[in-house]
Structure 1
């Protein structure tokens, strides 16, 4: 019987890791605390997007200035726009918000009680709060974006300035500030970008504390080697290797970063697949060429680079290197691209691809598995789990949804014996519903052996001979009995007491669990038996 894992080592750790990419920071000389607002980013990439439902990566961290120990970590549904420590009370005011892409500017005024960690959302109605400033112990100056940009082409450059007074800000309750207190004429209002100066400030604070700030984020893939080394792919790094000593051996940098790692059939190298997103260059949008490289595990040397012409996902299983194009805009049925040592072969037709429906990365796969639709014009409809044979033919095994009337999105998977264990979510017109996320074990003939339901989508899963380990975007980590799906244990993932979320998982050959987190760290967890 397994018990809750213990984090015995953290690779890639550093100060301020919990807040991700920093947006702004303020120092309070009176309390000697530092408040930092940042963003861990989304938990989706162009190859898979199911795990992003109900997720927010926006964080507010409060740290001791001298030792840089975290004191509080708060999730926010909106980006952090402004921070201000109260002049007397142990209280932090936080302005958050963003434009919703339609017509509204939404956000919150958060009051974080630094003695208890309690958080109050003080506005009665959602408003983007561009600036917060304490004018006195009782007066808080707010600059709020307009409610919307309906018939107002200047809304994105304007703000409404209001001063709200309270005798005791520590006693303010939820939704206590109404619209009438915020009424003010619109004026020009700038929205400066503080990210560069914030990065310099965090680096200086870390240096003064004898530490180093690196700004690592999102470990998308992690793999353990027989010799104890750990491989990882993360933002800004196509692939990296950590020695058993805990030192980083090598790293191959990339403008976006690696999203997939698949060990090559030679046993001495690894395939790494990079993300490629469109970026604005002047008046135009540009996308860098795809990057899929085979890297020597011993030295980190790039041995070869494939040029598929379009961005693609790596398909695991078998001796060949197999790619599935992600060119979702094409009207032509897509084919797998199959690479041997000395040739490229067109594989079977698999239909078009989208990140919500067709992501199906199968760990420990004995052969390649893909999700394919039954309608060429609507490939997300009627999806089947299919396997690619040694001769390159495609064989449909069973429907992806075992409930005919339900449409299910793809997710991570693992092969166990003559069955697949996979996670996903059930589509609903109003978004993910309670109990709408699942893990299921199905025999290769389609028989459902068990299913486990929850409210949050899985980010990753792996298994050993008797346990399935599932990470959720809520920060939970759950172990299920591989035989019957019952819960062996359930825990909320933490590093040094601070909550975090797993983005990737791998059971290492030594029997411990490797966890790649959204905040750029790699956890080595012992599984006591």
Structure 2
């Protein structure tokens, strides 16, 4: 039997540009012989102070191979570790990539990746993880490497040293996984300061883009998107509190911010939007990190981008959507002091009910299309992450417990995005496990008003965002997939990999616009407008 479903198809891209796929560049190199460019970069983590559950299994490190003429991305590879160095083979269609990082307490880990540019195949050549600072082809058969020491357990100078070796193979195109053993990497440690290649890479990308008649600039992580009734598109992203794109494709305005917006909530007046900026917990004057300014939650005119109002809660908080009042929930639980909601009308504020502490894994519960605010509240006053309940917030700030967040006895669930549909909630999350996220440990579930499970959909990757129209629940995962679930039954209507011009990406935010199309904010700083076309399957 054939049935018709609807699959999102990218129709327009806002905020695009050359080298968008790799985020902040760390290293770049040109192969003049084959007219190719390789760039290693970082899209950043998919967590912030108000939500971290989608970080499980995520890596934002990317290696992109581009045509020098036109700068089209031909290959895009995910790397487990930060990219340190790149080198094109002098004769073969092969790229050597050195990656790695310090784990923060003991080891230097990484990989030597060999990317076949004709097939896209990727080989991790080292038998054991080692941070590879530098790669350089000495000849067609010899590859020079500089590796970090294995660890700093007994060597306080490990961060200033490297092991220089030359590995020889008759045919590097035939090298298999884990075939470079430790005996080939044995060499005395010598003084070595790892080069910082980011600034040089930025200059190279700027020059290459200009030579092609384009402009290059870094855009990363669109944390929130919203559509308006007249077809405009709002977005919040790194370095930008909020921006507005016109139906023509022009950017009408942007409000900059040192960290960037993380949430957008349409104002009750219909002409403004509330935006919430990231503010990490860095104490001033303690030497514990760079300083940031105070909390910033602002109401912005959709027409002009003018900041109409700025709230001063005193602490950084998350915006809780739903209802006509602005509700803020403080992020960090202060020892010995209960946390309370903050309720704001235009020009005034008051405290609401006590909700306990908030942490970025347990308590995120951003509910789209909600008539009133929802929060996750732990019932154990000594440990707010335990026994969490989905709780409704009344207009007077009082709380009404609805049902336990975890419906399986004995399981502990982390919070995630949600949407209110037909007097029930669809929400996503993950199941806590001591060894990390397990297969099938991520879920999307529909709950009745009494908490009964109407359906559940299990997956291996956590959801970054979800929304729904009358028939379909659209789910974006950190793996780069988009899935359409039947809103009534939870069955999979379609499942697809998100791509832009043939290169994979991942959605960090998602919204169904009033016109019916789907807006997607990507991890690489682009906003996608997707039409939802009919698709027939058996």
Instruction: Provide the TM-score with structure 1 as the length reference.
Output: 0.99
Q: Secondary structure at the match of 1:203?
A: helix
* Corresponding residue number in structure 2 for 1:99: 102
Which of 39, 55, 61 aligns to 1:58? It is 61
Instruction: State the distance in 2 between where 1:351 and 1:523 align.
Output: 37
Q: Secondary structure at the match of 2:178?
A: coil
Deviation of 1:2 after TM superposition, in Å, equals 2.6
Instruction: State the distance in 2 between where 1:303 and 1:527 align.
Output: 35
* Corresponding residue number in structure 2 for 1:414: 419
Deviation of 1:333 after TM superposition, in Å, equals 1.5
Residues 307-350 of structure 1: CA deviation (Å, up to 9, x unaligned)? 11111000001110000000234332200000012421110000
User: Would you say the 8 A contact 1:53–1:432 is kept in 2?
Assistant: yes
* Corresponding residue number in structure 2 for 1:76: 79
Q: 1:399-410 maps to which residues of 2 (within 5 A)? A: 399-410=404-415
Q: Secondary structure at the match of 2:210?
A: helix
* Corresponding residue number in structure 2 for 1:379: 384
Q: Secondary structure at the match of 1:273?
A: strand
Q: 1:114-263 maps to which residues of 2 (within 5 A)? A: 114-263=117-266
* Corresponding residue number in structure 1 for 2:531: 526
User: Would you say the 8 A contact 2:508–2:523 is kept in 1?
Assistant: yes
Which of 447, 461, 467 aligns to 1:442? It is 447
Which of 481, 487, 490 aligns to 1:482? It is 487
Instruction: State the distance in 1 between where 2:308 and 2:287 align.
Output: 36
Instruction: State the distance in 2 between where 1:196 and 1:145 align.
Output: 22
Structure 1 residues 329 and 111: CA distance shift in structure 2, 3 A: farther
Instruction: State the distance in 2 between where 1:76 and 1:28 align.
Output: 21
* Corresponding residue number in structure 1 for 2:471: 466
Instruction: State the distance in 2 between where 1:366 and 1:82 align.
Output: 51
1:39 aligns with 2:42: yes
* Corresponding residue number in structure 2 for 1:494: 499
User: Which moves more between the two structures, 118-127 or 197-206?
Assistant: 197-206
User: Would you say the 8 A contact 1:91–1:112 is kept in 2?
Assistant: yes
* Alignment: residue pair count: 529
Instruction: State the distance in 2 between where 1:357 and 1:342 align.
Output: 32
Q: 1:323-342 maps to which residues of 2 (within 5 A)? A: 323-342=328-347
**Unmatched tracts of structure 1, length 5 or more:** none
Residues 231-270 of structure 1: CA deviation (Å, up to 9, x unaligned)? 0000010000000001100000011100000011111110
User: Would you say the 8 A contact 2:333–2:356 is kept in 1?
Assistant: no
* Corresponding residue number in structure 2 for 1:268: 271
Instruction: State the distance in 1 between where 2:131 and 2:215 align.
Output: 34
Deviation of 1:117 after TM superposition, in Å, equals 0.8
User: Would you say the 8 A contact 2:352–2:396 is kept in 1?
Assistant: no
Deviation of 1:56 after TM superposition, in Å, equals 0.3
**Unmatched tracts of structure 2, length 5 or more:** none
Deviation of 1:276 after TM superposition, in Å, equals 1.1
Q: Secondary structure at the match of 1:223?
A: strand
Q: 1:313-332 maps to which residues of 2 (within 5 A)? A: 313-332=318-337
Residues 401-437 of structure 1: CA deviation (Å, up to 9, x unaligned)? 0012000000000001210000000000000000000
* Corresponding residue number in structure 1 for 2:460: 455
User: Would you say the 8 A contact 2:471–2:488 is kept in 1?
Assistant: yes
Instruction: State the distance in 1 between where 2:336 and 2:74 align.
Output: 53
Structure 1 residues 306 and 181: CA distance shift in structure 2, 3 A: same
Structure 1 residues 281 and 58: CA distance shift in structure 2, 3 A: farther
User: Would you say the 8 A contact 1:2–1:527 is kept in 2?
Assistant: no
User: Which moves more between the two structures, 373-382 or 329-338?
Assistant: 329-338
Deviation of 1:283 after TM superposition, in Å, equals 3.8
* Corresponding residue number in structure 1 for 2:317: 312
Residues 59-115 of structure 1: CA deviation (Å, up to 9, x unaligned)? 000001121011111000000011011111111100000001120100000001111
Instruction: State the distance in 2 between where 1:278 and 1:345 align.
Output: 24
User: Would you say the 8 A contact 2:418–2:466 is kept in 1?
Assistant: yes
Deviation of 1:208 after TM superposition, in Å, equals 0.7
Instruction: State the distance in 1 between where 2:72 and 2:227 align.
Output: 30
Structure 1 residues 487 and 284: CA distance shift in structure 2, 3 A: closer
Instruction: State the distance in 2 between where 1:501 and 1:528 align.
Output: 20
1:370 aligns with 2:385: no
Deviation of 1:444 after TM superposition, in Å, equals 1.4
User: Would you say the 8 A contact 2:338–2:356 is kept in 1?
Assistant: yes
